[in-house]
Structure 1
Amino acid sequence: MMNLEEHTLTSSCSEYTRRVWYLPAEQSPEKICLFLDGEYYVNQMDVPDKLTVLQREGLIPPVACLFVSYVDGETRHYDFTCNDRYARFITEDLIEWIQSRNAGISRQDCLIGGLSLSGLQAAYIALTTPEVFLFTLCQSGSLWWNNEWLKNDLQSRSTTSGKFWISVGDQETDSGIIHPPTGLVQDVDQISAVKRFADTLKAQGDVVHYHLFAGGHDPKCWEAEFSDAMQWLLG
């Protein structure tokens, strides 16, 4: 993968230390893209190469990208369940680090992306810091978490006027699941939770593309839609 740099970054409060992969823009960057669950996007979905192609073909503007490691399964369950402290690490420390390497990018020219649990956290971060993240990629987001807490919480928030690509597979129908290693309980099937969340966002004035793809909770499905999603969000 061309130009992919690996770094280890620590939060200003020293609570978080995470491995990250940085992909500089092909030209002078116009936007920042930050992806949670970095190992999926880098190692399983070939996203750095896809982003390079999209930029070279003029399908998206030049973007500086950071992919953040999830560390392990247990850490994912804590970091990605609407966690305010982790959100501050992303919106303050990591965005500041990217900006320090790319002078002139506005803090509002940022996209955040995630999948499954990190899709939930990406949506949460975008909704709580709309002054930073205008664009959100939420692939099979675990919006069932805590009895659809994030969807219910939307009703107490002011509108954000963000742009969201929200997707789910037509085979993501399971409910009554306990997810290891921490025992997260999923009482609501993925499709229902994602669709209700998308509908609530639309009703509050956000720009939403809801994509029901053929398949299940599968990185191959997320990879297949990735380029279309990025073009819709940033093109």
Structure 2
Amino acid sequence: MRKLKAAAKTGQLELDRAWMGVSLGSAEFDEKTNTATFAVRLFDLSKYHWKLDLETRKVTDVHLNLNRITEKENYEYGMMRHVPGTDIWVRTLPLSPTYRGAYSFSLLTDDDEAAGQQRQPGPPLHPRTDRAVVSGVSLSTDLDVDEEGRGTSLISGPLAPYDRWSGRVNALRGEVRTTYLEDSGLKIFAYLPTHLSNEQPAAQSCRLLTLFDAETWFFKHDLPRALENAVAGGMEPLAVLGIVNHNNEHRLAQLKANTEFLEDAGTAGEDWIRQQAEDAGIVLDPAANLIAGQSLGGFSALYAGIRHPERYSTIIAQSPSLWWNPEPGSTPRDLARPTHGWLTEQYYRAKAKALPQHVVIDVGVREGAMVNKAHMLAMALKARDIKHELHVHDGGHDWAWWRVALLEHLGAKLEG
């Protein structure tokens, strides 16, 4: 901060040089103080990523969006400080070295203040913030955009799990195939490790993973390439049946305990990918059939586990939306209710023959009441003698740690 202020007094050239030094090290943890400094330069945003006319609009505030840390009641915690004499904004926050999360920036301009929207404590009631994609500074890995269209980037502490499989260096050796099944209305993105059958003529057996939110996993997180990197590191190969959402409304309709949708995914969807695999010389092992999802997808994976326990050998539910219930008007605020929740109740009530074999639950320690509900679900699984695992990660409701944990559950090696 002091170096930037001093450089600003010297001139633009010195400021640019000082910024290069800061940007190369910003958003990196200070291991002595367990803090992280986030920095953004408006010039970079306007020049490379965002159509902001700095001549006609003045930025009055910049907010650091850090999942579950600087939002809702902690909104003020994310307000960044302006470095006088520059277009640079910074914020230093204490963060545990095991933290892994996505972040982005939001800008408030003088247009907001002119409309009578002066900043009050807490998030603006009617925010007209400009959603800025983050500049290329202070990033370890690009996470594309979040649900609100903001560019997101990754911050990962020195003791956080390392995502060593998501590099985009190697060319994809298997195949991604897509289809739309008109009778069921399923849109599918599938990954098949076809290179295995090319290298070894005898039919190759591998696992099958049914995965929700495929449009995110395939396009934003390049799952097929990450899987191949993990297989190269010793993980057993698997094929992926990815279920696609057309939009958010369609996602909500599919993933809220929709029995017809789950039946279609497990019959028409599986029939299609098994035929594709057979044509490619790959045998999908029916005894190694996994299903996974995140948020509402995690909820649906858990629900599929008691609707069709014979179909899936393992259920992986990451930050499952345990707030949902069939009553009209259920929202995430229902997590605060002093109950174990509707889905957990279904696990208590299910007959023994309707219980899944193995359940893996992931939750972020910063997800508030979700952590309690996850523990209550684990208690139900233990009471029903279901093999299960409960993992608590240092993060929020966030793809940043979901993708690392998913690959680990699939057998990817963290070391080596």
Structure 1-normalised TM-score?
0.82
Residue ranges of structure 2 left out of the alignment (5+ in a row)? 1-170, 197-203, 326-333, 335-340
Q: How many angstroms does 1:57 deviate by?
A: 2.5
Q: Which has the larger radius of gyration?
A: 2
Q: Deviations over 1:208-228 (max 9, x none)?
A: 111110110111121232222
Rounded Cα–Cα distance in structure 1 between residues aligned with 2:297 and 2:356: 21
Is 128-137 or 79-88 further displaced after alignment? 128-137
Retained in 1: the 8 A contact 2:344–2:377? yes
Out of 173, 176, 196, the position equivalent to 1:5 is 176
Local SS of the residue matching 2:205: coil
Retained in 2: the 8 A contact 1:33–1:66? yes
Q: Quick one: structure 1 residues 161 and 125, their matched pair in 2 at CA, closer, same or farther if it must change by over 3 Å?
A: closer
Matches within 5 A, 1:174-185: none
Structure 2-normalised TM-score?
0.48
In the alignment, structure 1 residue 217 sits paired with structure 2 residue 397: yes
In the alignment, structure 1 residue 91 sits paired with structure 2 residue 286: no
Give the corresponding residue for 2:205: 29
Give the corresponding residue for 1:180: none
Is 64-73 or 112-121 further displaced after alignment? 64-73
Local SS of the residue matching 1:231: coil
In the alignment, structure 1 residue 54 sits paired with structure 2 residue 230: yes
Local SS of the residue matching 1:29: strand
Rounded Cα–Cα distance in structure 1 between residues aligned with 2:176 and 2:404: 25
User: Larger helix proportion, structure 1 or 2?
Assistant: 1
AA at the equivalent of 2:304: I
Is 148-157 or 94-103 further displaced after alignment? 94-103
AA at the equivalent of 2:389: H
Q: Deviations over 1:136-179 (max 9, x none)?
A: 11111101211622110112213335222211111111xxxxxx
Rounded Cα–Cα distance in structure 2 between residues aligned with 1:15 and 1:49: 29
Give the corresponding residue for 1:151: 344
Q: How many angstroms does 1:25 deviate by?
A: 5.5
Give the corresponding residue for 1:119: 298
Local SS of the residue matching 2:403: helix
Q: Quick one: structure 1 residues 157 and 199, their matched pair in 2 at CA, closer, same or farther if it must change by over 3 Å?
A: same
Rounded Cα–Cα distance in structure 2 between residues aligned with 1:21 and 1:111: 14
Rounded Cα–Cα distance in structure 2 between residues aligned with 1:218 and 1:124: 21
Q: Deviations over 1:40-74 (max 9, x none)?
A: 22233332222112222322x22111222122111
Give the corresponding residue for 1:16: 185
Give the corresponding residue for 2:411: 231
Q: Quick one: structure 1 residues 80 and 109, their matched pair in 2 at CA, closer, same or farther if it must change by over 3 Å?
A: same
Identity %: 24
Matches within 5 A, 1:99-110: 99-103=274-278, 104-110=283-289
Q: How many angstroms does 1:15 deviate by?
A: 4.2
Is 222-231 or 20-29 further displaced after alignment? 20-29
Give the corresponding residue for 1:192: 372
Out of 227, 230, 249, the position equivalent to 1:74 is 249
